[in-house]
Structure 1
């Protein structure tokens, strides 16, 4: 144990001396979490830039306009009052949607004829498109209800009776787990985990190439140290740093970005420990067989986006091809992201994430097994050769 801690101490000294390594391990996670949190801080989309073109200019059309102009969903641009201006503003990105009330709107209503308003929206961004469509349907449903109530009352029906007629069938909607439809609760935890995943991998995978480039890795291979001592000694600082960053980013996300974190603290801690260990041990294996630091940096950049996309975190897994799902299950991120959402958003217990815990545990065992595949050359240590001793300075000449 003392030898392993000495190796860890040696690794920590390298991290503290190397400014880039120190930034990757300790500073970059919080910086990226803050940056991403600033993007998603609003949590929901409101004040959508919108245009309202009223070609009828009647009492009925103004009632339609009232909903779109007085609520929090839309921010009406008063300068856009024609279809031509609306089309131009949509092309230039000044607005994201608009509504056109036709000229004969009030006349058709008076004759009890079917009529319609035109709602257009920019669906190049699906979030804009989905929210505008949802808000527009809500607005027109509200107008129809008010208009029908006014019509029934004009026919002599008491307001209470008209309300009863219009509310014969009610739809009771109960939203579970994320009632505010917060985009932070949907996405931000996954952003945190991909940050920890990629920066944790980057930190640990640079350790062995650094030793190889400095011609010091051979000292470990020729030393009497056991493989497990080298693996744990080199990995321990990164495991501790990973757990620290995990706790720090969750604290930051909960208190400043308002990420919903409920459920068992023990389960959250267990998931963080398993996730970190799986990343570090798999990263140590990668570092053993990487040719140089540049090769590692290139590969990790290529991995970051696919890992997030194929995990099923933002898209239903049953709509993803089976072969891609199988590939995604080879990464710790997939198991962690699903389990964390179950615990913190759905407030589920251990039986509901036991499969995920098992998956992360298996990945730790596989990572350790693969990390122990490197070849050690045991040779007698001559007095004039470099050897690894039991002190804090690794390695040194005796």
Structure 2
């Protein structure tokens, strides 16, 4: 144990002396969490800039305007009086949606003729488009209900009779798991997990390549220490820091960004530990076999986007091609991301995430076993490419 502790202390001093690595481990995850937190802090899309083109100029059309104006979902943009002005404002990005009230709108309503409002919205951004359409329908439905109730009241029908007619078929909504449709609850934790995954994997992957570039890796290979002690000593500081970042970023998500993180704390900790073990072990293996630090950085940056896309956060896994799903099932992040969402958002117990737990346990066991039994064979650093973290200053013990 003393040898492991000595190597761990040496690696910790290397981390503290290397400014880039120190920033990567202690500052970058927190910085990403804060930046993403500000982006998704509101959680629910509201105050959509809306223009209303009133071609009727009647009392009823003004009621339509009032209905949209009183909605918390929209923010009316004044000064747009014609369809041409609306089109120009949409192109310039001044508005995201528009309502066109046709001529003789009030007259058609009074004569009980079919009439319609024209709703246009910008769907170039799907988040804006989907939510804007839903908000428009809600306001239009409420307005139509009020007009129908007023007409029935004008016929002398009592209030109770009106309620009976209007509520013949009623749909009650009961939203489960994410009742506010918060994008912070849905997307933000996945981003944090990806930050932890990439920063942790990259930092651990530079441990041995740094030693190779400094020609100090040979002292480990020529020592009498077994492989598992070298691995534990080199990986232990990163394992501790990575789990600290995991807990810190989730705390920020829960208390500052108001992302919904419920469920069993024990399961959250257990999955976090397994995820940390896998990342730390895989990072060490990559570092042992990689020719230099630049190659590690290049390839890890290349795979970050595909891993996140295949995880199910950006697009449902049920609608991703089977071949892509099969490849992503070999990676720890999709399993961790799905299990984390099932625990924290759906508040599901162990029985529902047992499959994910077993898969991550197998991955942790396999990666840990390979990392602890690496062959102590010298692989000189590649002469190709530029070395990263190749300073020749050494911390004293």
TM-score tier after normalising by the smaller chain length? over 0.9
Q: Number of aligned pairs?
A: 382
Match of 2:382 in 1: none
User: 2:3 and 2:162 mapped to 1: Cα distance?
Assistant: 83
The TM-score, its normalising length taken from structure 2, stands at 0.93
Contact 1:64–1:143 (CA under 8 A) maintained in structure 2: yes
Q: Does the CA-based 8 Å contact 1:7-1:394 persist in structure 2?
A: no
**Structure 2 equivalent of residue 281 of structure 1:** 281
> Cα deviations across residues 287-345 of structure 1 (Å, max 9, x unaligned)?
11111111111111111111111111232211111111111122221111111111111
Query: Is 2:212 the counterpart of 1:186?
Result: no
The 8 Å contact of residues 216 and 395 in structure 1, kept in 2 or not, is answered as no
**Is 2:266 the partner of 1:251?**
no
Task: Say what the alpha-carbon RMSD is for the aligned residues.
Answer: 1.6
Shift of 1:263: 1.4
Q: Report the counterpart of residue 305 of structure 1 in structure 2.
A: 305
Aligned to 2:362: 362
Does the CA contact (< 8 Å) of 1:282 and 1:364 recur in 2?
A: no
**1:226 is the counterpart of 2:220:** no
Distance in 2 (alpha carbons) for counterparts of 1:276 and 1:267 = 14
Q: How does 1:1-398 map to 2 (within 5 A)?
A: 1-372=1-372, 374-376=374-376
Deviation at 1:372, TM superposition (A): 4.6
Unaligned runs of 5+ in 1: 379-392
> TM-score, normalization: structure 1?
0.93
Shift of 1:394: 8.9
Tell whether the 8 Å contact from 2:13 to 2:395 is kept in structure 1 after alignment: no
Secondary structure in 2 matching 1:291: coil
Q: Which moved more, 1:41-50 or 1:335-344?
A: 335-344
Tell whether the 8 Å contact from 1:219 to 1:395 is kept in structure 2 after alignment: no
The answer as to whether partners of 1:222 and 1:377 remain within 8 angstroms in 2 is no
Distance apart, 1:80 and its partner CA: 1.3
In the alignment, the residues of structure 2 paired with residue 196 and residue 155 of structure 1 have an alpha-carbon distance, to the nearest angstrom, of 65
Report if aligned partners of 1:311, 1:329 keep a CA contact under 8 Å in 2: no
1:90-142 alpha-carbon deviations (Å, 9 max, x no partner): 00111111000001211111221111110000000001101110011111111
1:368 Cα offset (Å): 2.2
Instruction: Return the alpha-carbon distance in structure 1 between the equivalents of residues 232 and 293 of structure 2.
Output: 21
Displacement over 6 Å in runs of 4+:
393-396
Contact 1:202 1:300 (C-alpha < 8 Å) held by counterparts: yes
Q: CA–CA distance in 2 between the matches of 1:336 and 1:205?
A: 20
Note if contact 1:329-1:335 (Cα within 8 Å) is conserved in structure 2: yes
Name structure 2 gaps, 5 residues minimum: 379-393
* Residues 139-186 of structure 1: CA deviation (Å, up to 9, x unaligned): 111111111111111112112211210111111110111111111101
Aligned partner of residue 148 in structure 2, secondary structure: helix
8 Å CA contact 2:67–2:139 kept in 1: the answer is yes
SS of alignment partner, residue 129 of structure 1: helix
SS at match of 1:259: coil
Distance 1:377 1:330, change over 3 A: closer
CA-to-aligned-CA distance 1:268-291 (integer Å, 9 cap, x gap): 111111111111101111111111
Q: 1:370 to 1:72 in 2, by over 3 A?
A: same
- Assess if the C-alpha contact under 8 Å between 1:11 and 1:237 holds in 2: yes
Q: Distance in 2 between matches of 1:394 and 1:53?
A: 71
SS at match of 1:53: strand
Q: CA deviation at 1:373?
A: 5.7
Query: What SS does structure 2 have at the residue aligned with 1:115?
Result: coil
Task: Find the aligned partners of 1:250 and 1:318 in 2 and give their Cα distance.
Answer: 27
2:16 and 2:295 map into 1 onto residues whose CA distance is: 23
